[in-house]
Amino acid sequence: MIRFFYILFVLLISLDARDNPFFPTSGELEIPFTSNKDRTKEPLKQATISMPSQARIIKKVTVEFKNLDGSIESKSIELDNSIDWHLPIFISQSYSQNTNIIKEPKKIETKEFKKLSSIKFASFYSLDKTLKIETKDKLIRNFLLVNPHRIVIDFKKDAHLKWMSKENEHNVFKKIRVGNHKGYYRVVVELDGFYQYKMQKAKDGYLFKLR
């Protein structure tokens, strides 16, 4: 009988007891825990991304998201569409209301050139990304400069003009400057961003189309 109690005592003291029953053992570290803490985020309504002025074509949109288990993944959609960098890219998760309502087609508005400024021998007009210069003077040369981005246009004439500068708010052709030189006058058209352009002869002058 004494031998039985001795063996039982040895077995009891050899057990691996936990020092603190309120902390998990090493084998319990990977067991997920629950909590009544509110971990929800504010629902996505709308976000925007502004594009740099040299952006012209959108190629891909990638969304990175977090899963329930905390892992991070991403999904992408391939695109190949032209964009206007003046307008932001919208990110939203909402359906338009009344999607079944048939909308009347919008009336096509006829756009006209808007006058920006003029001098004695030339007038300057804009329509979207096209600059129109009405003049009878001969174009000598035109080229693009940067910092700031601007088109330089020289017309042949002994003009004897006074220096002129005109700012055009909310227009891609943000500033027009005209200065007199020996044998020609120079028009400098400052742009609101990075562009290339194409010059085209018109009936009453010249067209400069940005792209």
Encode pLDDT of 157-193 as tens digits. Answer: 987 888 899 999 999 999 999 999 999 999 999 999 9
Sign of CA dihedral 61, 87, 43, 33: positive
Q: List pLDDT tens digits, range 45-60.
A: 888 888 898 898 998 9
pLDDT of residue 157: 92
Per domain, the residue ranges of the chain are: 47-94, 114-210
Query: What kind of fold does domain 114-210 have according to CATH?
Result: Immunoglobulin-like (2.60.40)
Residues in the chain predicted with pLDDT less than 70, given as ranges, are 1-39, 95-109
Residue 77 and residue 89 in contact, taking contact as beta carbons nearer than 8 Å: no
Torsions phi, psi of 98, nearest 5? 55, 45
